[in-house]
Amino acid sequence: SKPIVAVVGRPNVGKSTLFNKLVGERIAIVEDTPGVTRDRIIADAEWQNHHFTLIDTGGIEPHTKDDIMLQMRIQAEVAIDMADLIILMVDGREGMTASDLEVANMIRKHNRDVLLAVNKIDSLNLENNAFEFYNLGIGQPIAISAEQGLGLGDLLDEVIDRI
């Protein structure tokens, strides 16, 4: 069967926006309110004739900081269990957070294949924002803008290289 690629990351980083772009349909729900994705969402995706299953691990709606941490842990566990490749998405405008680091550590501890997508890099002058995420210790940050469709080809090239 097809390789599974799971997108994890804290609420509001743009997981559902990326998912919809890659799947080519508005399946996942994108909202300005953090954490509105209602369930785990799964769809087929394809790049250069490579087919894979994409999972948006958004999950239930967290309301407090503790909830967000818990949800991140659950997301990461699901991804670690199911995925052949994990895309950890972070917010290049807000910078690195404790929950980004916690998930990165979980993924690293389990030795899972991971790509680091730094989202919301909507213009060239924001590209330097990606560098600090080297500190997550899971490899080279890939700057993208899910909304503007920037860097997605590079990200997908890496995806099909790794699956």
Footprint of Mg ion (CB under 5 A)? 15-16, 37, 58
**CB nearer to ligand GDP: pick between 49 and 59:** 59
Q: Is 146 in the site for ligand GDP (CB under 6 A)?
A: yes
Q: Is 21 in the site for ligand GDP (CB under 6 A)?
A: no
By C-alpha distance, which of 72, 62, 9 is closest to 38?
A: 62
Alpha carbon separation from 98 to 19, 26, 133 (Å, rounded) = 24, 30, 12
- How far is CA 149 from its chain centroid? 15
Which of these ranges, 14-22, 44-52, 70-78, 130-138, lies near ligand GDP under the rule CB under 6 A? 14-22
What is the rounded CA–CA span in Å between residue 140 and residue 117? Answer: 9
Q: Which residue has the tokens 């239930």?
A: 60
Smallest distance, Mg ion to C-beta of residue 5, A = 16
Which of 6, 12, 83, 143 is in the footprint of ligand GDP by CB under 6 A? 12
Which of these ranges, 47-55, 68-76, 128-136, 140-148, lies near ligand GDP under the rule CB under 6 A? 140-148
> In sequence order, which ranges of the chain are alpha helices (DSSP H)?
15-23, 65-82, 98-109, 152-162
Q: Which residues bind ligand GDP (CB under 6 A)?
A: 9, 11-17, 30-32, 35, 37, 58, 119-120, 122, 145-148
